[in-house]
Structure 1
């Protein structure tokens, strides 16, 4: 986790350095990135958890906004003090022309004019919350087209244990298991119950082994505080619903209405185990997704 936290800081400072490239002089850019990293390290302190670091960086907002503040400080002749995080997290986007006069076309590239001290100015930034309603709607529709706004878009984070933690807010499969070990154990036990069905193990007293294992996983789910009542009932009820209702429906369809009771019972027990496994898989997927989306509720 320490390596992932350090990578978060390095990625953020690198983005700030890239934003300052061509805008600040080399010595200014070096001094800016040095002070930025020192300030971040000071705020992070001993908490080297990736999620904590991601929250600290979120308070700094867009690195381009920090570069713009540095440009304004240099233009005003300010002293090089330690950098501080913005009071409110900005969601910034360049929308206006450069401050210092019109841009000069250089081929297909617009060159931002330099200030009096030789430092180029960035375009002014605005907060998205102050954008016109039409602009906000367009951005929301664009995010939905890319998959960011879809209900199950966050499910892909489960497999992103090697991804950039800044893109996932420090949440992936490993962090979820570490933060919710009992809930993760409950999901594993439910999966184990489904995997034991094809082995036809000897029953314990009058109970089949998969049912006993399922009951243990269901108990852990019921006593969890991270799922609401609906999620718990759906997660642990799906296997039993598949076993009973699925077995009746599929078994009835396979034998027909005139085959008699005994053929129906035979078909029911033939298909009910498979339906139990399918129901368990659906329940575990739902519980896993809801656990992943815990912070979005």
Structure 2
């Protein structure tokens, strides 16, 4: 291992880290850079020669840092190693064919995932974002506690008779290593505030406070809790899914 070769690797990892900054959490960025460093070292060891030209060739094989980050975030793998190898062509040539011509989005899963999953990137390429179904499957596989928490909140929002499940979901949110402090405040605090407001605005009558709570809670408190829980699911799901996709790619 030469000093110049090692410096090339460190510079490359630094550029990748800068490209990831602001797009993923610090924990996810550190995990990905550690995994990337291990993959680079494996190729260096397999090459049997650690001179500057060999290391530069290995790094070119991973692609430019910005494109590597695009692959990390979109899940699309680029076959070409260098942009200069991509022949110029009009943007419409990169558009995927429609499903009836063998393009993406075939089958029942595509219907469940919904439209708008294929995006046009700024460099003319297209990338297919994972849909709700695939994100959910990855979430169950790699982030099971978070998946259970979101399931509990979803059941609370859809079926108010099982609102007690929200307590389990809230506990899992608080124990999560995926969501940050702000996410946890939203995921737990918003339903509690909504439930409290729902109880306060109940327009029924009761002589004593305990009777008031017993009647107001199922009438307006629990429905408010359920609606707020669904809002929290939409808020928490994207970050959990992104973390699950990162864990899936790191595992591969």
Place the TM-score, normalised by the shorter chain, in its bin: 0.3 to 0.5
- Scaled by the length of structure 2, what TM-score is found? 0.44
Q: Which has the higher helix share?
A: 2
Which structure has more relative contact order (CA 8 Å, sep 6+)? It is 2
- Scaled by the length of structure 1, what TM-score is found? 0.38
Larger of the two Rg values belongs to structure: 1
